[in-house]
Amino acid sequence: SYELTQPPSVSVSPGQTARITCSGDALPKQYAYWYQQKPGQAPVLVIYKDSERPSGIPERFSGSSSGTTVTLTISGVQAEDEADYYCQSADSSGTSVVFGGGTKLTVL
Amino acid sequence: QLQLQESGPGLVKPSETLSLTCTVSGGSISSSSYYWGWIRQPPGKGLEWIGSIYYSGSTYYNPSLKSRVTISVDTSKNQFSLKLSSVTAADTAVYYCARHNVEVFGVVLLYFDYWGQGTLVTVSS
């Protein structure tokens, strides 16, 4: 079955830039999406279609794509950004959804 | 503002069927632009897509769960429902319903933009 691979954890100091990667063979063909999830809360969409930002999401959140890897970048990380981040996409047919395993972002 | 709310039993016995309903308010489930999906998250673990349904009844399921899952829609009540049969402890999770953006023509499943708050279902005797 199709898988998306994320690093389990990323740590950054406040004000620094955090980069979280997500790799998958179908990513050149399918869009990627990113969700932020804080403890006890539902996930929140922070990036859609590789690099688009929903309304209400701070400009410090951005997304990019290169081949089989997509990257979520958080510039000027703030303490409130500490959360789990999940990438999501579809398989090559576009009819089966897959989530990455999640990355825990720790703000030191 | 679109809102989704999950409802159903919080405790299910092993081998029985888990049943949940998602009620959509602030918008119509019959919108032509969206599917409606179920996602779950075992305690301390990641997200897993279960399946999604269109208002017409067209469905897509996670291949790993397909043999046990049925998702249905009731447009008159603006609700969609999940049934998961033959549950085990491994099905213990927070279950979320969400609006699923899609490319309707030549279906391509895209992203989830509105989520319910989630409901914990525990499988235990």
The pLDDT of residue B12 is: 98
pLDDT tens-place string over residues B55-73: 999 999 999 999 999 999 9
> Closest Cα partner for A95 from B54, B33, B59?
B59
Decide if pLDDT at A74 tops 90.
yes
The pLDDT of residue A1 is: 85
Q: Which residue shows structure tokens 């999950």?
A: B6
The verdict on A49 touching B (C-beta cutoff 8 Å) is yes
Decide if pLDDT at B104 tops 80.
no
Cβ contact, residue pair B111, A48, below 8 Å: yes
Would you say A1 and A95 are in contact if contact means Cβ atoms under 8 Å apart? no
Cβ-count burial of A35 within 10 angstroms (0-12 exposed, 13-18 middle, 19+ buried)? buried
Decide if pLDDT at B32 tops 90.
no
Q: What is the pLDDT confidence band of residue B53, given thresholds at 50, 70 and 90?
A: very high
Considering only the beta carbons, identify the residue of B39, B60, B118 that sits closest to A96. Answer: B60
Decide if pLDDT at A78 tops 90.
yes
Decide if pLDDT at B106 tops 80.
no
Cβ contact, residue pair A98, B49, below 8 Å: yes
pLDDT tens-place string over residues A21-53: 999 999 999 999 999 999 999 999 999 999 999
Considering only the beta carbons, identify the residue of B49, B109, B117 that sits closest to A42. Answer: B117
- HSE-CB for A76 with a 13 A CA cutoff: 4
Would you say A2 and B64 are in contact if contact means Cβ atoms under 8 Å apart? no
Please list every residue in chain B whose beta carbon sits closer than 8 Å to the beta carbon of residue A1: 63-64
The verdict on A34 touching B (C-beta cutoff 8 Å) is no
**C-beta neighbour count of B19 within 10 angstroms:** 16
Residue type, B76: S
The whole-angstrom distance between B14's CA and the closest CA on chain A is: 25
> Lowest-pLDDT range, A46-50, A71-75, B102-106, B119-123?
B102-106
Those residues of chain B whose CB sits closer than 8 Å to some CB in chain A are 37, 39, 46-49, 52, 60, 62-64, 96, 101, 103, 107-113, 115-118
